[in-house]
Amino acid sequence: MPAPDRSKFHSELLRWYEENKREMPWRRTRDPYRIWISEILLQQTRVDTVRARYESFLERFPTVRHLAEARIAEVLLAWQGLGYYGRARNLHRAARLITQQYSGEIPQDPVTLQRLPGIGLYTARAIASIAFGKDVAVLDGNVMRVLCRVFRLQGDPRTTAARSRLQALADELLPKGKASTFNQAMMELGALVCRPARPLCSDCPLSPVCQAFRKKQVHAFPKKTPRKPSPTRLRVVAAVFHRSRILFVHRPPEGLLGGLWELPGLYVNGGDTQDGFEKLKEMLRKVATLEAVSTREPFSVDHVYTHFREHLQVISCRGRPVASSCAMRQAEPFFQWIHPTQLSHFALTGASRKILGQVLS
């Protein structure tokens, strides 16, 4: 980009940002802990949702030490409904590392930040620039879209090669000493004006320098190669009741939805739901020593994850102790009978909450 354009780019963008930026609680602070929490919350979660949950999370865990000293179950409970629970587990791990290795001080250097769980290139640079004023440029979906359009960049930004070019361009554009404002202005412009669909080019401060706008090719950027449709997995699930309580399973601590509670279920290969229900009942008989007796017709629930969809076939059952056992055991530590009034004390998977919404209504 020629030098005069670049100076116009900066001055128009920063002026626009000062006049149009939205009021956000995390924009009122330079506290690195609060900025870190906001950045993790904002990953894959809508701004309005984050705004509603940010203060309550910080009231519950006001400092990195409070977060480090909490049990993971408490953190997952506070995270309930926000999805992508790996973020909560990583936050907790990172808080412990920060207290153990950095005396409770969040590192300033983006390379050091990136060594912490859950902090990738974008988040490290966001914390380093916004909280500590480091001269590093961020690249999120909004920034990529703005750059692809302004510079008419070829290449799908989801590819590594295009992303490296975009990062180099963002670094080159960054005005020294203004990283915090510049980064936030680029992200805000992408969110409010240079939107994926229906960008507001006539209100855009960058329209005088935007090459896609000048050539009337705005909708051709960013370039996108078609994605494969995400697969659908079939799962049978049982909502088992006994003495007004419901049976839940604790998922293993690592991996997808790690540490959350869910209704017992099994994936079904080959699409034979009936066979799946039989296997599920057999599993409940063996592991939870109960006979699951269906009380209504199966019903279905769909749930979407990042890389796949789940089609859930659900049976509602009454649980009866099997003849050989005097009482259904709480035996396996990963099983728990929970009364509906106590559910708010447990972090549940989104799919289980959806099913309960139907079963308990």
Q: Catalytic residue, from 12, 18, 39, 282: name it.
A: 39
To ligand SF4, the closest distance from the beta carbon of 211 in angstroms equals 8
Question: How far is Cα 102 from Cα 104, in angstroms, rounded to an integer?
Answer: 5
**Widest pairwise Cα distance in the chain:** 84
**74 classed as catalytic:** no
CB 251 within 8 A of CB 260: yes
Strands 245-250 and 232-242: antiparallel
Q: Could you tell me whether strands 265-267 and 309-321 are parallel, antiparallel, or unpaired per DSSP bridges?
A: unpaired
For the beta carbon of residue 352, count every other beta carbon within 10 angstroms: 28
Q: Please, what is the minimum distance in Å from the beta carbon of residue 155 to ligand SF4?
A: 17
The residue (of 206 and 240) whose beta carbon lies closer to ligand SF4 is 206
Which residue, 187 or 246, is less far from ligand SF4 as judged by CB?
A: 187
The contact set with ligand SF4 (CB under 6 A) reads 146, 149-150, 193-194, 199-201, 204, 206-207, 210, 212-213, 218
Least distance in Å: CB of 175 to ligand SF4? Answer: 18
Q: How big is the CA angle at 326 (ends 325 and 329), to the nearest 5 degrees? A: 70
Cβ neighbour number for residue 108 with a 10 Å cutoff? 14
Is the alpha carbon torsion for 79, 84, 85, 90 positive or negative?
Answer: negative
Taking the least distance from each CB to ligand SF4, the nearer of 215 and 286 is 215
Nearer to ligand SF4 by Cβ, of 149 and 303: the residue is 149
Q: Is the peptide bond before 222 cis (omega within 30 degrees of 0)?
A: yes
- The CB-of-131 to ligand SF4 minimum distance in angstroms stands at 27
Would you say 207 or 352 has its CB closer to ligand SF4? 207
- Please classify residue 311 by burial: count the beta carbons closer than 10 Å to its beta carbon, then call 0-12 exposed, 13-18 middle and 19+ buried: middle
Shortest separation between residue 4's beta carbon and ligand SF4, angstroms: 18
Residues with catalytic function: 39
